[in-house]
């Protein structure tokens, strides 16, 4: 059982404070949905947990099983078991899904122990997971997560549809087997069929040893993926946490209600 604890997290870009004291504790086996309007800082939170270098943590901490991860680079965080499914996965020309994923999996699973040697001799391919073993596992998981086998050779996200990008993100999660996954609007821009496929993937991966922070703007995905907790995120912090009923409340009353009652009433200006 692992715990990801975000404690009084304040984050700024330059002089602008974006996160204003976020507190959230996530345990293995839990799905925590975080809902909020556009521009409330949800994506910033996901980037900061994943280790994006552009943001400055001015206060607070992020702890994985009691250890701060703030000093770690993004790749070290990935190796300790944190995964971010991007809202807008980048397209990287010439980098095939299989090629980069083999290096990623090898690092995360500890094949690339002599990383310095590997970098020094400059050859991609030393200290990697054996090709056949990797291929076999990738093929199995591509079937399981509804990703066409041709995607292994295709360049990362180049010419992928919105749904294909999100499915590829889920496939990567399946290969990297993180302890905690942050899904940043994995439902956005998907039609109902694509949403079903992505949700199925998440449900398959939602095992006892894994925790999810599911960031979303809409209640829709929660019809497919059942959260244990739902938080409302507004103005750079969590303004309410409860069970699934919170999501229904939001659906009925919209975000204006949050602004009028929760932010004005509960949180001092």
Partner 1 sequence: MTVLIKEPKEIVEATAGFSQETVRQASAAKDEPAWMLDLRLRAWQTFESLPWPKPTDEDWRRTRLTSFNLDNYTPFATPGGTLGLDELDPILLNALDEMDSSASLLYRDGGVIYSRENQDLKQQGIIFTDLQTAVKQHPELVRRYFMTEAVKPDANKFTALHAALWDTGSFIFVPSNTKVVLPLQAILYQGERVGGYHHTLLVAEEGAEVTVVDDLLGAKNSFQATVVELILKDNAQVRYMNLQDFEHTAWNFLTGSAVMGKDTDLRWIQVSWGSRLTKAFLDLDMRGEGGHGELLGLYFPTRRQHIDHQTLQLHRVPNCFSDLLFNGALKHRARSVYMGIIKVLPGAQKTDAFQRNGNLILDSSARADSIPGLEIEADDVRCTHAATAAQVEDEYVFYLMARGLTRPQAERMIVQGFLQKVLDRVPVESVVHKLEKVIARKISR
Q: Which of 6, 9, 26, 50 binds partner 1 (CB under 8 A)?
A: 50
For position 159 contacting partner 1 by CB under 8 A, the verdict is no
As given in the structure block, the two tokens for residue 76 are: 């070290």
Q: How many residues sit close enough to partner 1 to count as binding (CB under 8 A)?
A: 39
Residue 58 CA to residue 196 CA, distance in Å, equals 39
| DSSP structure string for 197-231 | HHHHHHHHH--TT-EEEEEESSSGGGGTS--SEEE
Q: Which of 65, 67, 73, 191 binds partner 1 (CB under 8 A)?
A: 73
CB of 49 to partner 1, least distance (A): 10
Q: Which of 8, 119, 161, 203 binds partner 1 (CB under 8 A)?
A: 119
Q: Which of 9, 26, 64, 84 binds partner 1 (CB under 8 A)?
A: 84
HSE, side-chain direction, 13 A CA sphere, residue 165: 21
Whichever of 106 and 219 has its CB closer to partner 1, that residue is: 106
Let me know: does 6 contact 68? Beta carbons within 8 Å.
no
Whichever of 54 and 132 has its CB closer to partner 1, that residue is: 54
For position 13 contacting partner 1 by CB under 8 A, the verdict is no
For position 153 contacting partner 1 by CB under 8 A, the verdict is no
For position 79 contacting partner 1 by CB under 8 A, the verdict is yes
Query: How far is CA 33 from each of CA 176, 195, 226, 264, rounded to the nearest angstrom?
Result: 22, 16, 9, 23
In 3D, which of 13, 24, 17, 16 has the Cα closest to residue 49? Answer: 24
> CA 106, 129, 3, 201: dihedral to nearest 10 degrees?
100
Q: Which of 115, 133, 148, 251 binds partner 1 (CB under 8 A)?
A: 115
* Residue 239: strand, helix, or coil: strand
Q: Which of 101, 190, 232, 247 binds partner 1 (CB under 8 A)?
A: 101
CB of 123 to partner 1, least distance (A): 5
As given in the structure block, the two tokens for residue 152 are: 């292994």
Task: Pick the stretch among 6-14, 95-103, 194-202, 230-238 that binds partner 1 (CB under 8 A).
Answer: 95-103
Residue 196 CA to residue 174 CA, distance in Å, equals 17
CB of 108 to partner 1, least distance (A): 4
Residue 41 CA to residue 45 CA, distance in Å, equals 6
For position 86 contacting partner 1 by CB under 8 A, the verdict is yes
**Interacting residues toward partner 1 by CB under 8 A:** 50-54, 73-75, 77-79, 83-84, 86, 89-90, 92-95, 99-101, 103-105, 107-108, 115, 118-124, 155, 172, 176
């Amino acid at each position: 059982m692992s715990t990801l604890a975000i404690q009084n997290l304040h984050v700024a870009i330059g002089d602008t404070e974006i996160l204003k004291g976020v507190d959230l504790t996530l345990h293995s086996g839990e799905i925590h949905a975080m809902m909020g309007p556009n521009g409330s800082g949800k994506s910033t939170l996901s980037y900061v947990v994943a280790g994006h270098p552009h943001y400055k943590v001015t206060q607070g901490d992020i702890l994985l099983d009691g250890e701060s991860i703030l000093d770690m680079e993004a790749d070290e965080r990935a190796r300790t078991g944190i995964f971010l499914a991007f809202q807008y996965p980048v397209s990287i020309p010439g980098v095939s899904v299989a090629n980069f994923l083999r290096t990623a999996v090898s690092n995360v699973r500890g094949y690339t122990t002599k990383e310095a040697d590997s970098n020094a001799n400059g050859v991609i391919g030393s200290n990697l997971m054996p090709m056949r073993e990797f291929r076999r596992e990738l093929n199995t998981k591509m079937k399981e997560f509804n990703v066409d086998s041709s995607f292994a050779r295709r360049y990362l996200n180049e010419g992928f549809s919105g749904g294909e990008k999100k499915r590829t993100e889920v496939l990567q999660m399946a290969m990297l087997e993180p302890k905690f996954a942050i899904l940043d609007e994995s439902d956005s821009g998907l039609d109902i069929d694509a949403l079903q496929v992505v949700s199925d993937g998440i449900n398959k991966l939602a095992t006892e040893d894994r925790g999810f922070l599911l960031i979303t703007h809409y209640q829709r995905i929660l019809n497919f993926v059942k959260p244990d907790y739902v938080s409302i995120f507004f103005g750079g912090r969590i303004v309410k946490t409860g069970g699934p009923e919170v999501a229904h409340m939001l659906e009925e009353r919209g975000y204006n209600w949050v602004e009028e009652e929760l932010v004005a009433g509960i949180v001092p200006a």
